[in-house]
Amino acid sequence: MTRDAIPGRPLAVAATVTVIAVVVVLPLAAVAWAAHGIAPERLFAIITAPRTLAAFRLTFGAALAASLIDAVLGFAIAWVLTGATFPGRGWIDAIVDMPFALPTAVTGITLAALYGPHGWIGGFLAAHGIHVAYTPLGVGLALAFVGLPFVVRTVQPALADLPEELTEAARGLGASWFTVARRVTIPLALPAVATGFALALARTLGEYGSVVFIAGNFPGRTEIVPLLVITHLEEYDQAGAAAIATVMLVVSLGLVLAINALQRRMVVARAAT
């Protein structure tokens, strides 16, 4: 009989499965079960209502766009913080974590004050015909703000662990910094970027507090899915809220699983080469 090298592993596995079942699986199953008793005709009517479709388009479109922007900016910020030493680096490194520490309502109020029609930045942009607050652009801005740290903190360790001899060999062969980044750094860091993108996307899909203040919440224009769910609950339409939440749950889970599968394929392909 082979002994487990790690004592207590069965107990740890059992505890882990129990916690995940109670904290994650059961609440998600309860949401799906709440929509179970809805007649198919009403379920289809709720999901395909113009207001609901508009909320889905805005939520998923803004979350995807914001996460893509975060993937690019997060990689650049992580690259600078990992490979460069300059005055104020510690402050910038700490500021990256501010979206983690700030309550989402505070974030929303701050963004609305800055980018509103009379805000410091929003007033200047409005004078040039660019309106941020109470538009889909404001929704995307809020989502990009809350998702950026997920990319930076995921990519940063991956860049720190890159073999220095690869970049040194490339420079020794006469490659420019751009060529080194394109042929060495970016391909090796791509799995971490994909993971950060997935985390940011999963986080922004359910964001509410930082968006509700800057969005304006106009039905059909700047209303996000979490707010629509709350609206149904306030109208005592629990079935409608459960139906929309279930669709959100299924789509979000499918996106995360698809991105994680893509990341694993990228890791395997990189290891094979």
- pLDDT tens-digit series, residues 216-265: 888 888 899 988 988 888 888 888 888 888 888 888 778 778 777 766 77
The mean of the pLDDT values for the chain is: 82
Domain that holds residue 249: 35-272
Residue-level pLDDT at 6: 61
Quote the pLDDT of residue 62: 94
Q: What burial class does residue 240 get, using C-beta atoms within 10 Å of its C-beta: 0-12 exposed, 13-18 middle, 19+ buried?
A: buried
Q: Does residue 20 belong to any structural domain of this protein?
A: no
Residue 1 placed within a domain: no
Residue 134 domain-assigned (yes or no): yes
DSSP classification of residue 134: T
Let me know: does 71 contact 263? Beta carbons within 8 Å.
Answer: no
Q: Output the pTM of the full model.
A: 0.82
CATH code assigned at 195: 1.10.3720.10
Residue 264 falls inside a structural domain: yes
Q: Looking at the domain assignment, is residue 255 inside a domain? A: yes
Q: What's the structural domain count of the chain?
A: 1
The predicted-structure confidence for 176-211, as pLDDT tens digits, reads as follows 666 766 677 777 788 888 888 988 988 898 888 889
Per-residue tokens: 27: 């609440």
Nearest partner of 115 among 256, 107, 12, 243, judged by Cα: 107
